Amino acid sequence: FMKKLIIILVTTLTLFACSSDKTTTISRVVDGDTFDVKYGSGDIDRIRLLGVDTPETYSKNKPDEYEGITNIECLDEWGDKATTYAIDILANNAVVLTSDPLTEERDYYDRLLSYIEIEGKDFSAMLLENGYARVYTESKISRTDSYLILEENAKKNKLGLWGCPTLPVNID
């Protein structure tokens, strides 16, 4: 009996140790889809959220990058709102990082490519559902189909950036 108990205990601790490697804390929100995490070891890593693209906050947004939205001022505003949303949800909170078997581990800028789950919810999906992001179709991931459904629903309901007026408003 004691031998079985020890085996169960060691197995449970091993599984816990393996799964806790993916649990970390968001130490800084760079923008709506880029974050710094701090591991238990004290190491910091930059994360690029898989599957989505929020409007830029540190560089210029491009017309039509968001399927027909040419109002750059509106995209700039939604870039700031996506960042604020990410801060409100993620900053200083524990998250689970999950990789995707269809993509590389790191991008061109050496950012770790990962999904982020907070309290069991997929943060990429949350961004899409609320209109803070578009599906990033430029790279292959396993969640594209489900993400495209969320994006289409946000577009249909003109949520978030999908409610941007087609043409910039002239202010005289």
Two tokens, residue 151: 């994006």
Of 111, 129, 143, 151, the catalytic one is 111
Catalytic residue among 46, 48, 117, 119: 48
38-64 burial, b at 16+ Cβ within 10 Å, e below that, comes to eeeeeeebbbbbbbbbbbbbeeebeee
Are 116 and 124 within 8 A, CB to CB?
yes
**In this predicted model, what pLDDT tens digit does every residue of 96-108 receive, in sequence order?**
999 999 999 999 9
What's residue 6's pLDDT? 52
Question: Above pLDDT 90, what percent of the chain?
Answer: 69
Query: Please, which residues bridge with residue 37 across strands?
Result: 26, 45
- 48 is annotated as an active-site residue: yes
| Tens-place pLDDT, residues 126-165 | 999 999 999 998 889 999 999 999 999 999 999 999 999 8
Phi, psi (degrees; rounded to nearest 5) at 125: -60, -40
pLDDT band at 166 (very low <50, low <70, confident <90, very high): confident
* N- to C-terminal Cα separation, the chain: 83
Which helix (DSSP H) or strand (DSSP E) does residue 45 occupy? strand 44-49
Q: Looking up tokens 């040419």, which residue turns up?
A: 70
Catalytic pick from 28, 46, 56, 129?
56
pTM passes above 0.75? yes
Whole-number Å distance between alpha carbons of 17 and 11? 10
pLDDT-based confidence at residue 65 (cuts at 50, 70, 90): confident
92 phi and psi angles, rounded to 5 deg = 60, 20
